């Protein structure tokens, strides 16, 4: 029976060209519908409050103008926007103070509403993004770098958060001020408004041209920053290799190259921003000067009241500032939409585990496990076949040793048994049932894996051992540590099980990390053990202790060992010799030595340590 399964395609975040902002991009908010829908009422109320706040800003600007007019002429009159009689400076001042107090209150309510809505949305999104990250098939992680995935959870979600707390509110407020301001300006003087609006097309064209150029420069700068961050990440991850090869200078040179390019691009951007800023300042101040000149002329002719002229100047500044701010807000919106796409690409990705909250069925793997006519290529290298018609049987309670030269496919077999990947063709079966029909989490809960290179979590020893069974008691943890021959060195630490192991377990020796991993597997009490033996990298004392721990771990359970030591191979129920993606020989040690084939050659060439 053969089952074909296509490998999913996992595009990275940077795939494809970056697009300029288009209003069609706003459809990206549709992908956030499940986060937005519960808070539609919050959002609507927030927008109403924002509208009131924007209207009050226009009223306050009008009052400022009235204040200037009354101060200049001492005249009295009615304020057209509200129909209030403004008799003197005190009347205007008290009205202005009241408007400011009301606006402050509505601004506070608006910030609180948007913050409450956004934080609840981001909590759900962060949880969903993390759930997605830990629920993907291994091919997903193989195609990405850790720094990129970490960025999705941190930087991208922070950018989305800014959109809902700041950007959308500022955009909406800006639109209110621009539209309301222009209507108010036209009320005071249609002629001056037309003079003022005549300057806008030039500024908008300049802003669009400049914005496109700056976006290109910003993208190049971001790419260089990302490249420099990758250098830092690689250096810190492989710091032992960097120092052991005395290659600090080489890494410094690589980082320096990126840093210098970042500086060059940043200075180029600064040059163009400075040029644009100078143009805008010259143009805006020139336009304002022209409007003031024209307004003064109208005042001299008696066609424009002084308070209207003061209001016009203030409101012109308000409208111009709002228009200028729109470019920055649209830029922030564009970044936010890109972040939404980036995060939702992960959240919406097909997962190997769809619901982490679902109950896990109890399964038993204490039966024959078989791989039948399995062909497999890794998704990143589809042109390189790794397994070619592999056949392997693991009977209940058997200890099967996989041996062979590097690249024969031993680690890939372990990956398939863990169901990190699925066969391209062929089938993995438990008894008579194809493994793909079994619940994935239930299956893995009955399997333990001890890798060749053990990486521990950065907490204490207790939490690292308990990872095998999160509900284990301290007594069970200590018992597992004793059976793994780890309790003696744990007791030697002043803090015992509370000893912090450092990032990736760097505070422990290789043998100690191995025994902690073995204790974790013992605590899990699996039906099937998969072990990539690492004793060849240990000193003789640690090797004996780890081997004793492994012997204890393998008692009474099926085990598959990628063997590097002759003693392990000799004790195996069955030895499977792999070559070029197939099992080419099978049997016990004496039997295979007598055949004088591949296995005998491996022993003769000392491919297996004594």
Q: How wide is the angle at C-alpha 392 spanned by C-alphas 391 and 396, nearest 5°?
A: 150
Sign, CA dihedral 423-425-431-434, equals positive
Residues near 394 by beta carbon (within 8 Å), at least 6 away in sequence: 368, 369, 370, 400, 528, 558, 560
437's tokens? 């029909």
Indicate whether 342 pLDDT > 90. Answer: no
Least confident of 107-111, 231-235, 236-240, 296-300: 236-240
Mean pLDDT of 254-273: 85
Least confident of 261-265, 359-363, 365-369: 359-363
Indicate whether 387 pLDDT > 90. Answer: yes
Q: What is the mean pLDDT of the chain?
A: 81
Mean pLDDT of 382-410: 91
Q: Tell which residue, 171, 501, 510, 149, has the closest CA to residue 332.
A: 171
pLDDT score of 22: 55
66's tokens? 């009235």
How far CA 18 is from CA of 72, 161, 221, 226, in Å, comes to 54, 22, 14, 16
pLDDT score of 1: 42
Indicate whether 26 pLDDT > 70. Answer: no
pLDDT score of 303: 77
Mean pLDDT of 226-251: 78
Note the pLDDT tens digit of each residue in 81-103: 455 555 567 777 788 888 899 98
The pTM for the full model equals 0.75
User: 560: burial class by Cβ within 10 Å (0-12, 13-18, 19+)?
Assistant: buried
Task: Say if CB 363 and CB 446 are below 8 A apart.
Answer: yes
How far is residue 219's CA from residue 225's CA, in Å, rounded to a whole number? 10
Note the pLDDT tens digit of each residue in 36-54: 889 888 888 988 998 898 8
Neighbours of 18 (CB within 10 A): 13
pLDDT score of 560: 94
pLDDT score of 24: 61
pLDDT band, residue 254 (cuts 50/70/90)? confident
User: Which phi and psi angles does 357 have, rounded to 5°?
Assistant: -90, -10
Indicate whether 17 pLDDT > 50. Answer: no
How far is residue 93's CA from residue 136's CA, in Å, rounded to a whole number? 63
pLDDT band, residue 8 (cuts 50/70/90)? very low
How far CA 606 is from CA of 144, 564, 584, in Å, comes to 37, 10, 19
Least confident of 248-262, 295-309, 404-418: 295-309
Note the pLDDT tens digit of each residue in 498-523: 998 877 777 888 888 888 998 999 99
Mean pLDDT of 189-212: 73
Mean pLDDT of 392-398: 93
Mean pLDDT of 162-167: 88
Rounded to a whole number of angstroms, the CA Rg of the chain reads 35
Q: Which domains does the chain have, with CATH numbers?
A: 26-348 (1.20.1560.10), 369-608 (3.40.50.300)
pLDDT score of 466: 93
Neighbouring C-alpha atoms within 13 Å toward the C-beta of 89: 5
**What angle separates helix 306-347 from helix 40-73, to the nearest 10 degrees?**
160
Regarding predicted confidence, which is higher, 583 or 380?
Answer: 583
How far is residue 547's CA from residue 571's CA, in Å, rounded to a whole number? 12
């Amino acid at each position: 029976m053969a089952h074909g399964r296509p490998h999913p395609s996992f595009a990275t975040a940077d795939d494809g060209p970056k697009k300029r902002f288009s209003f069609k991009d706003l459809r990206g908010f549709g992908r956030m519908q499940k986060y937005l829908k519960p808070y539609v009422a919050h959002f609507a109320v927030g927008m109403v409050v924002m509208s009131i706040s924007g209207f009050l800003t226009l009223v306050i600007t009008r009052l400022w103008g009235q204040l200037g007019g009354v101060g200049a002429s001492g005249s009295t009159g009615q304020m057209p926007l509200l129909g209030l009689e403004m008799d003197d400076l005190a009347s205007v001042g008290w009205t202005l103070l009241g408007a400011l107090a009301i606006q402050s209150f509505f601004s506070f309510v608006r910030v609180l509403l948007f913050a409450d809505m956004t934080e609840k949305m981001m909590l759900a999104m962060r949880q969903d993004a993390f759930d997605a990250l830990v629920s993907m098939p291994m091919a997903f992680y193989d195609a990405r770098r850790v720094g990129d995935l970490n960025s999705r959870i941190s930087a991208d979600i922070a950018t989305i958060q800014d959109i809902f707390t700041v950007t959308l509110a500022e955009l909406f407020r800006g639109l209110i001020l621009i539209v309301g301001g222009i209507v108010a300006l036209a009320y005071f003087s249609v002629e001056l408004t037309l003079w003022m609006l005549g300057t806008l097309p030039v500024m908008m064209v300049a802003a669009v041209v400049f914005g496109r150029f700056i976006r290109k420069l910003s993208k190049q700068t971001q790419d260089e920053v990302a490249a420099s961050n990758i250098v830092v990440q690689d250096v810190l991850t492989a710091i032992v290799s960097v120092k052991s090869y005395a290659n600090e200078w080489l890494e410094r040179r690589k980082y320096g190259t990126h840093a210098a390019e970042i500086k060059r691009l940043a200075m180029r951007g600064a040059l163009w921003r400075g040029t644009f800023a100078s143009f805008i300042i010259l143009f805006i101040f020139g336009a304002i000067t022209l409007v003031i000149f024209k307004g003064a002329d109208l005042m001299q002719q008696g066609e424009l009241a002084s308070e209207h002229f003061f209001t016009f100047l203030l409101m012109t500044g308000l409208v111009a500032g709002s228009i200028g701010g729109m470019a920055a807000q649209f830029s922030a919106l564009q970044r936010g939409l890109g972040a939404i796409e980036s995060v939702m690409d992960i959240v919406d990705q097909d997962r190997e585990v769809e619901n982490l909250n679902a109950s896990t069925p109890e399964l038993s793997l204490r039966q024959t496990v078989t791989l039948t006519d399995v062909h497999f290529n890794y998704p990143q290298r589809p042109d390189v076949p790794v397994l070619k018609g592999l056949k392997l049987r693991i009977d209940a309670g058997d200890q099967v040793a996989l041996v062979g030269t590097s690249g024969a496919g031993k680690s890939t077999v372990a990956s398939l048994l863990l169901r990190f990947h699925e066969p391209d063709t062929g089938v993995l079966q438990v008894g008579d049932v194809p493994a793909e029909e079994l619940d994935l989490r239930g299956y893995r809960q009955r399997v333990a894996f001890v890798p060749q290179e053990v990486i521990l979590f950065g907490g204490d020893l207790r939490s690292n051992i308990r990872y095998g069974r999160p509900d284990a008691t301290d007594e069970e943890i200590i018992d597992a540590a004793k059976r793994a021959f780890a309790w003696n060195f744990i007791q030697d630490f002043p803090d015992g099980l509370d000893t912090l192991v450092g990032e990736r377990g760097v505070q422990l020796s290789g043998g100690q990390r191995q025994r902690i991993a073995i204790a974790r597997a013992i605590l899990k009490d699996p039906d099937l053990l998969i072990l990539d033996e690492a004793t060849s990298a240990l000193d003789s004392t640690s090797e004996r202790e780890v081997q004793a721990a492994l012997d204890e771990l393998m008692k009474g359970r099926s085990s598959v060992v990628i063997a590097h030591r002759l003693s392990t191979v000799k004790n195996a129920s069955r030895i499977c010799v792999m070559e070029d993606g197939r099992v080419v020989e099978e049997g016990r040690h004496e039997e295979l030595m007598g055949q004088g084939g591949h296995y005998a050659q491996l022993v003769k060439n000392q491919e297996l340590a004594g």
